[in-house]
Amino acid sequence: MTAETSAAENPQRISMFKVLNPFHVWALGVGIVLVGEFMGWNFSVAKGGAYGALIACWVIGLLYSCVAMIDSEVTSTVAAAGGQYTQAKHIIGPLMAFNVGLFLVMAYTMLEAADALIVGDLMSAVAAATGYEGLSPQPFVVLTIAFLAWLNYRGVFMTLTVNFVITLFAFLAIIALFIGADPLNPGNILRHSDLLTELPYGWIGVVASLQFGMWYYLGIEGTCQAAEEVRSAGRSIPLGTIGGILTLLVAASLTWYVATGLMPWQYLGQAATPLYDAASIIGNPSLQVVLFIGTMFAAIASANGCINDAARAWFSMGRDRYMPTWFGAIHPHYRTPFRAIIFLIPIAVSFAFTGLLDQVITFSILSGLLGYTFMSINMMRFRKMWPLDVIKRGYIHPFHPIPALVLLGLCAAVYFATFLGYGASLLSIMAFYIVASAWFVMRRYQFVKRGDQFTMPWPRPRGY
Amino acid sequence: MIYWEILSYAAWIVSGLLLLWILVDAISVSREFDEELLISSREGVDEILDEIKKEGGIK
Amino acid sequence: MSTYIPKIQHKRGQLIDSLFILVLVYVSLYIPLFLESDTKSAEETATVQSYTWESLGVSAVEQEQWQKLGYDEAAAAEIINDKFDYTIDPLMLAITALVIIGYFFFVIRISDRQYREVIEEKFGADETSSKQEATQ
């Protein structure tokens, strides 16, 4: 059947299915992040020593608690698929929204590429262990991305239900490792008193380690992206997000505790799969298998969530014509942003095949960081333009404006950390966003319908 | 071991089939349905709005 | 109140715009490779010498863990002696800070201008009409 062509007279519209519950929100948020506990966080140990990494874990934990609180409040009033992108559109303005949309798409697509590479590398490692050296990871990288894209294409409910199961397994694997390390008898397996050293680079090393401390939590803010598909979003998203950040704080602490009690910091700082190595040192083969599967599942869950979020951000930008409108389509049967999903497949694969993993990851982290900086500014404007008594919020975060200011301060520290480690990359990534912004103002904005940018039933903002 | 080589080829083939399926479906959907309908979703058409209106959240 | 009528973009323009943003991403991914200012100084590790666990400052327990991981003195020495250099170039730091602050300043300024247009079109030009309900 064909719909009438005149959109103005035809009220028939398709929208996404509202099928998700808080567990799906939790699975989306934690699923994206948890891979960071299996690998990646430990580079902060190389930057600042074991204690430096612990300080980074807590400081960045504070950063993300601010992010979760701020996000929950704004999202409990702005429920749309674009998440922070939609917030930016309503609170700061179109150019900021365009940038936030790009932060989201870049951060998630690049993280997805890194995740798929992990799966490929793990397959090569298994092949090598069984006597087949030099297995190319490429077919497995492509298979991971293709399968997850297919899953995403077929519907959000199945996608995030799968994510819930594999994320839960990965989380339980961390718990199993903790129990396997016999934490009640320190000195038996865990040798903290012999392995923990002073700060090897002093406090500058601690600051530098903040950059990789992001890995413990990077991506938890992606829960907002599900807002258009969650039942009673105003309650489910704060619940799933804050549950997610608590899960991650637990997982991060356990991870640090076990890993630093088993490995000298110099080794830990460069390990590719630190938790799997920890299981190997403990020497329990079934624990090794559990951690191997856990690592694999964590990487898959992360890539899966990333496809979900990146596609929704890209879709929302298409729907508003910030990007070509062609991407703003929804599948009439599966109700997914199917063209955005398809478009991002070759991009993710090409990122994975560039061989620039360092660059890609830095791009991902920095895009996330730019997004957090935005959130802080966003929150201050939100409270000023619509004070608490003007619009009803499903959740109100305490101690405003302290979380927003703390977030801004911590972001500045992480920029400095990125400067210490990847100064040139930082500048070239900033150049990307600056050129893209100029392009948006000079070319794309002419296609955007002004009044349509404000869709929430809020009153006129104060001061405008 | 030949086993890993077969697995690699299988991975390529399965990826190819999945991608092909997605592509065919996307093209057929784009042909079958009107473009206006496909891009007809609107932001903010949402239960949260009804909720806010019902509870008189806007003053 | 004037309502802005946006241009309609055709398929070819949409394709060009999608490709433009992609090219931009790849360029910015490859730029640092050409600048090569991220390379760590590798001279220190060039000297080949024989290491003992003692000379590396590795305690007995640490040594035991290294060995469980399958590392001998030489392999461990390579990792242990690979250190970071945290010297700060004040000029580069100043430039970087300026770029980031300037970027946010620029984005927020322009956004504000665009936002006023959006609000005007949505709620009408008159400031006193702020009480009116959003008409859908």
- Percent of all residues in chain A with a pLDDT value above 70, rounded to a whole number: 97
Does the residue A227 lie in any domain?
Answer: yes
Structural domain contains residue A260? yes
Measured between CB atoms, which of B15, B21, B35 is closest to A143?
B15
Rounded mean pLDDT of A43-64? 92
Report if residue B27 sits inside a domain: yes
What integer pLDDT is reported at residue A7 of this predicted model? 40
CATH code of the domain in which A147 resides? 1.20.1740.10
List of E strands, A61-193 = none
Please report whether residue A459 resides in a domain. Answer: no
Q: Is residue A337 part of a domain?
A: yes
Side chain identity, residue A134: G
Mutation target for C interface from A103, A188, A267: give the one with most C CBs within 10 A: A267
Say what the pLDDT of residue C41 is. 44
The C-alpha atoms of residue A215 and residue A213 are separated, in whole angstroms, by: 5
- Mean pLDDT lowest among A70-74, A111-115, A164-168, A286-290: A70-74
Tell me: the pLDDT tens digits for A227-284? 889 888 888 888 898 899 999 999 999 999 999 999 999 999 999 889 999 999 998 8
Tell me the average pLDDT of chain A: 90
Q: Could you tell me if residue B17 is inside a domain? A: yes
Task: Assign B44 a pLDDT band (cuts: 50, 70, 90).
Answer: low
Residue B10 lies in a domain: yes
- The answer to whether residue B14 sits within a structural domain is yes
Q: Does some domain include residue B59? A: no
Torsion angle, CA of B1/B2/B8/B10, rounded to 10 degrees?
-140
Q: How many domains does chain B have?
A: 1
Cis peptide before A403 (omega within 30 of 0): no
**Average pLDDT, stretch A192-220?**
90
Among the partner residues C18, C93, C118, nearest to A94 by beta-carbon distance: C118
**R_g of chain A, CA atoms, integer Å:** 22
Evaluate whether residue A213 is within a structural domain: yes
> What is the arithmetic mean of pLDDT over B29-40?
91
Q: What is the pLDDT of residue B1?
A: 66
Residue A83: band (very low, low, confident or very high) from pLDDT cuts 50, 70, 90: confident
Q: Which two tokens stand for residue A338?
A: 């199917």
Tokens 């891009």 belong to residue: B39
- Number of domains observed in the structure of chain A: 1
Are the beta carbons of A81 and A408 closer than 8 angstroms? no
pLDDT score for A41: 92
Q: Token pair for residue A318?
A: 């298409």
Question: Closest to A338 (Cβ–Cβ): which among B26, B37, B48?
Answer: B26
Interface test mutation site (partner B, options A143, A154, A335, A452, max chain B beta carbons within 10 A): A143
Rounded mean pLDDT, A365-379: 95
What is the extent of the structural domain holding A147? 22-453
- DSSP label at C41? P
**Both ends of chain A: CA-CA distance in Å?**
45
Q: State how far residue B12 is from chain A, nearest Cα, in angstroms.
A: 5
Higher pLDDT: A136 or A82? It is: A136
Please check whether residue A417 lies inside any domain of the structure.
yes
Asked if A106 and C25 come within 8 Å (Cβ–Cβ), the reply is: yes
* C119 contacts A464 by C-beta, under 8 angstroms: yes
Chains that touch A (3 or more CB pairs under 8 A): B, C
Yes or no: say if A139 and B15 are a contact pair by the CB < 8 Å rule.
yes
Provide the domain limits for residue B44. Answer: 2-54
Q: What is the pLDDT along chain C (136 residues), one digit of tens a residue?
A: 567 888 888 888 889 999 999 999 888 888 877 775 444 444 444 455 677 888 888 888 888 889 888 888 888 888 888 888 888 899 999 999 999 999 999 999 999 999 999 999 988 875 544 444 444 3
Q: Give domain status of residue A458, yes or no.
A: no
How far apart are alpha carbons A352 and A114 in whole angstroms?
6
User: Does residue A319 lie in a domain region?
Assistant: yes
- Which of C17, C45, C100 is the best substitution to test chain A (most A C-beta atoms within 10 A)? C100
Phi, then psi, of A176 in degrees rounded to 5? -60, -40
On whether residue B22 sits in a domain, the answer given is yes
